[in-house]
Chain A
């Protein structure tokens, strides 16, 4: 509990650090959701590649259903727990969450609009908003790993234009690993460390 008292320089610094840590923690908590979605996309992309190479392309649609359903359920549960934790708060400012939500929405729209246009540009267009979301999160949290991974993911996403369609599922898996699994794991580990879970 904070009261008025004379502060030393060290105490002042501790207050600033503690408040910044608390605001950072709010976003690190999201690492779990990013990790879950990234892992699901990675696994599905690898499975998609295996289905394509074994001549079972007709089952791919069902495969992505196994990504969307568990991913959405996890997101819903995490949001429910977050909501329960902050039920006394009348307002929940969550810019990073909003950016990721917008990226998901844009990817969804792009997926529907571009699915029949070009396989080469598909991955680039799907991942571009997520690269922006990842970069924004990295810059906000001043996490060099997240910034570097987002830039690398953007390069990989744009390289899809030059990669044969048969290998694009593997490229998709690689982008999910770089942009979501590794940063998600880092954020979640930081969150656990900070909370000593």
Chain B
């Protein structure tokens, strides 16, 4: 259901998200937030969020079964804001390697790969820091006015490997291993971490997303 005086934010329900957490975090800002698997509702939304939790394969299958692959791809071409979280962000990439090689939505070029052999424990679960990938910092992005090196909550076994460095918005160090923890292309954002689970600072990031609309 759309409202005229509020921003309409669609959470795309493809069967494997932590939908409640996300709804209440987005809802915190008084906008019209709704969970939907209806292509028409997604099309007319002011912004969409692709939720997290789940495996790449079930994520893509969930989108296919609901006929939403092209809906999300088309939406991403409109310039309206898109926020992917965890798996929802991974699906924005070209391909994933969880339970076999699979095609992603191919909105941001690159792969989603396992951590591989690193010294640290996998999955990477817990609070860790994010910092800008370049000297440009985060001004005019989703992380506007967010202090570098804040702690946010991660829970994942796979990570983004964007083809183009300019799509890297944030990096994180796990032990001595550095990986891309947020991606960006125009108004399309993906966070490997969960802003909706990252306390008050995470809420600030979600507030920033709403300001992009």
Real complex partners, A and B?
no
Binding site for A on B (CB under 8 A): none
Binding site for B on A (CB under 8 A): none
